Amino acid sequence: MTARILDGKAIAAEIRAELGEQIEVFSQQTEVTPCLAAVLVGDDPASEVYVRSKRRTCEKLGMGSQLHQLPADATDDQLLALIAQLNADRAVHGILVQLPLPPQMNTQVVLDAVDAAKDVDAFHPHNVGLISQGRPRFLPCTPHGVCQILARSELPVSGRRVVILGRSEIVGKPLASMLVQKTSHLGSEYANATVTVCHSRTEDLAAISRQADVLVAAIGKASFVTAEMVQPGATVIDVGINRTENGLVGDVDFEGVKEVAGAITPVPGGVGPLTIAMVLTNTFTAARLAVQQSASA
Ligand code: NDP
């Protein structure tokens, strides 16, 4: 069997097109342009490419975008002052602090300082709490991208066994939190999963991953998931992005696993494009909520 390839690029393009139409109507009705402010500390080339790509996409969709750069030796106080300024700026709806921050900075303190109503990464404890209670304001971008791929490919998870490899705050944990809810904005078919989360201390990980109807790999280890770890016919979502001598590869041995899986995302061109689309979706949500709030004030 050769797996169906889930085309993340095409799904992201579909979402961007829908978002562009919604933004056009919103901006005409409210005279507000949703605006994303990206904060970049230092000069990491990969982060710069990522941030610039987000800015270009914003502009194509009729959104505003700002880039605020601080030097690599900036202090927490300098960054916190910039965040306070962006929190107070009514023209800015979403704030994105590009990670990783330089080692002298306290990432948790910085992320907690972003106004929860502008926290388009959904990292603020308030937003994490809302997600865990099943009443999200923003959905975390990469996990939301995974759910969009499943929903738009008509691969429901309700009642199915989902195994997530990795328990990070950015991917594994929030994805698990979303999939165990009773419903989601994509419908109850894309919630109600039976979720197992594996990590570096998990014993006999292959035996667990083989039970998965949907296997999500988010560990940051090139080609870690091999065909023997996958149940025949399973859906395999590869979140990993690993730079190797052979270019970018995921956490899944794509060539081997595609012969066993029922459906699989490639790397690149799988989850990655969805993550950026979801940041922009959250920025639009932030702008809508800001307008609603000022109307009711
Ligand atoms: P982290 O490094 O924060 O977390 C990795 C997780 O994997 C940890 O929970 C760790 O366990 C677990 N892990 C590591 N090695 C093993 C192992 N051998 N067996 C089982 N579990 C293991 O990574 P992120 O979640 O930030 O990222 C994961 C991958 O996803 C990376 O390749 C990253 O580049 C990519 N990524 C892609 C995005 C996209 O848009 N496509 C967005 C975000 C990330 P423990 O907790 O015990 O240490």
- State the pLDDT confidence band at 175, using cuts at 50, 70 and 90: very high
52 pLDDT band (50/70/90 cuts)? Answer: confident
22-46 pLDDT tens trace: 999 999 999 999 999 999 999 888 8
Q: Which secondary-structure segment (H or E) carries 126?
A: helix 125-132
Using CA positions, which residue lies closest to atom 35 of ligand 1? 240
Pocket test for ligand 1, best of 163, 200, 252 (most atoms within 8 A of CB): 200
Distances (CA, A) of 31 to 13, 24, 28: 25, 10, 6
Catalytic residue numbers read 54, 98, 121
Ligand 1 neighbours by CB, cut-off 6 Å: 142, 165-168, 170-172, 198-202, 205, 218-221, 239-242, 271-272, 275
Task: Please give the average per-residue pLDDT across 119-146, as a whole number.
Answer: 97
b/e per residue 239-256 (b: at least 16 CB within 10 A): bbbbeeeeeebbbbbbeb
pLDDT of residue 246: 87
Gap from CA of 128 to ligand 1 centroid (Å): 18
Which residues fall within 8 angstroms of residue 213, CB to CB, at 6 or more apart? Answer: 157, 160, 161, 162, 231, 234, 235
User: What pLDDT was estimated at residue 120?
Assistant: 98
Tokens 């994105």 locate to 96
Ligand 1 atom nearest the C-alpha of 167 is: 9
Task: Outline where DSSP puts E strands in the chain.
Answer: 4-5, 35-41, 64-70, 94-97, 161-165, 194-198, 214-217, 235-238, 242-244, 247-249, 263-264
User: Which residues are 73's β-sheet partners?
Assistant: none
* CA of residue 220 to ligand 1 center, whole Å: 4
Residue nearest to atom 31 of ligand 1 (CA): 220
Tell me the average pLDDT across 100-117: 97
pLDDT in tens, 260-273: 999 999 999 999 99
CA–centroid distance, 166 to ligand 1, in Å, is 5
State the DSSP H helix or E strand holding residue 142, giving kind and residue range, or none if neither.
helix 141-152
Q: Find the mean pLDDT for residues 131-136.
A: 97
pLDDT digits (tens, 9 = 90+) for 241-262: 999 998 999 999 999 999 999 9
Distance CA 57, CA 62 (A): 9
Q: What is the mean pLDDT of the chain?
A: 96
Identify the band that residue 55 occupies on the pLDDT scale cut at 50, 70 and 90: confident
43 or 162, greater pLDDT: 162
Q: Identify which of 3, 14, 5 has the alpha carbon closest to the alpha carbon of residue 265.
A: 5
Domains (range + CATH), the chain: 32-115 (3.40.50.10860), 140-272 (3.40.50.720)
Find the 219 Cα to ligand 1 centroid distance in Å. Answer: 3
What's the token pair of residue 98?
Answer: 């590009």
